[in-house]
Amino acid sequence: MKLEIEPFPSCLGAEVRGIDLSQPLTGDNRAAIEAAIARHAVLVFRDQPLSQDAQVALARGFGPLDLGLKRVKKTVSRFRHDELLDISNVDTNGEIAARDTRRIVGNLANQLWHSDSSFQKPAARYSMLSAIAVAPQGGDTEFCDLRAAWDALPEDWKREIEGREAVHYALHSRFVLGDTDYTEAQRAELPPATWPLVRTHPDSQRKLLFVGAHASEVVGMTLAEGRMLLMDLLEHVTQREFVYVHKWQPGDLVMWDNRSTLHRGRRYDLSIRREMRRTTTLDVDGDKQAATSDTVDECAHQTV
């Protein structure tokens, strides 16, 4: 069976069929997936239940893996691999976690619009989220297209923000939610990273707005004015016309490009079990620019 890529109507996102992700990828299939994610930013693979080992092996095929905040929190994991991030409301004993635990704060922080690990250099490139148990209601994941948002930005805004940089700090979103119990040593392990507000995607060569919940201030602006600008830009990029909503089914794997999207989880009943496993690759060559552009016929159906 040939690999097929069926774009969604909005051009943000595509479903990929004709592949078994539990098996090692061929070079051609890996290249096709990378080309598709550069074009569509979010890829959906249905009916792909993966073991822990298989998910880590799949992610490693796309580059070195990121631990994110796990490298600082150093919490006990239910998983065999440190590179597997536990995006669930389940504690280490396999029970539903109490609402006042840091695990639940992390779940709630995931409901803020963000790009994974934008608070560090290198930041995240691809994330792969595997659905083990889903909520019967709610618990969707939303993605917004930072490229389309730039295209639609008024020209006076474009002139105002080009050349400006934003500071991304890992604990900024946690502080907003009241999670402030970090030692000075932990805070020192997470120095802020600075990124341009306007970036060019290295694969597609499309410009995009790079904001999100980790962005805490704008270089060269007062704190208050910079935060108002960041809130205005976040409101712009998350308009419904730029958003794809993923309705989870057990066995889904969704892969997205953190350089061209923001994402957030949606509300669900925290007393009901929801289990997801995430792997994320580092954007180790993020400063390199692609030599060619591939933006023609952007929503075309592909068969490889």
Instruction: Average pLDDT across each block of 10 residues of the chain; the chain has 304 residues. List them in order.
Output: 90 95 96 97 98 97 86 68 90 87 84 95 97 96 98 97 97 87 83 97 96 97 98 98 98 98 96 95 69 43 56
Is 284 within 8 Å of 124 (Cβ atoms)?
A: no
What is residue 288's predicted lDDT score, i.e. its pLDDT? 46
Residue 297: its pLDDT value, please?
45
pLDDT of residue 1: 65
Q: Which CATH architecture has domain 4-283?
A: 4-Layer Sandwich (3.60)
What DSSP string describes the chain? ---EEEE-TTSS-EEEES--TTSPPPHHHHHHHHHHHHHHSEEEE-S----HHHHHHHHHTTS-B--TTHHHH----SSS-TT-EEEESB-TTSSBPPTTSHHHHHHHHTTS-B-TTTTSSS-EEEEEEEEEE--SSS--EEEEEHHHHHHHS-HHHHHHHTT-EEEE-TTHHHHHTT-----HHHHHTS--EEEESEEE-TTT--EEE---TTEEEETTS-HHHHHHHHHHHHHHHTSGGGEEEE---TT-EEEEETTTEEEEE----TTS--EEEEEEEE-TTTTPPPSS---TTTT--EE-
Name the amino acid, one letter, at 100: D
Q: What is the pLDDT of residue 302?
A: 57
Question: Domain limits of the chain?
Answer: 4-283
Torsion angle (degrees, nearest 10) of CA 201, 205, 207, 213:
-10
pTM, whole model, 2 decimals? 0.92
Write down the pLDDT at residue 289.
38
Nearest to 153 by CA among 210, 227, 217: 210
- CA atoms of 220 and 163, how far apart (whole Å): 11
- Report how far residue 6's alpha carbon sits from residue 163's, in angstroms, rounded to the nearest whole number: 36
> Residue 293 has what pLDDT?
35
| β-strand pairing of 253-257 with 198-200 | unpaired
Residue 251's identity, in one-letter code, is G
Residue 201 contacts residue 39 (beta carbons within 8 Å): no
Q: Are 143 and 12 in contact (CB under 8 A)?
A: yes
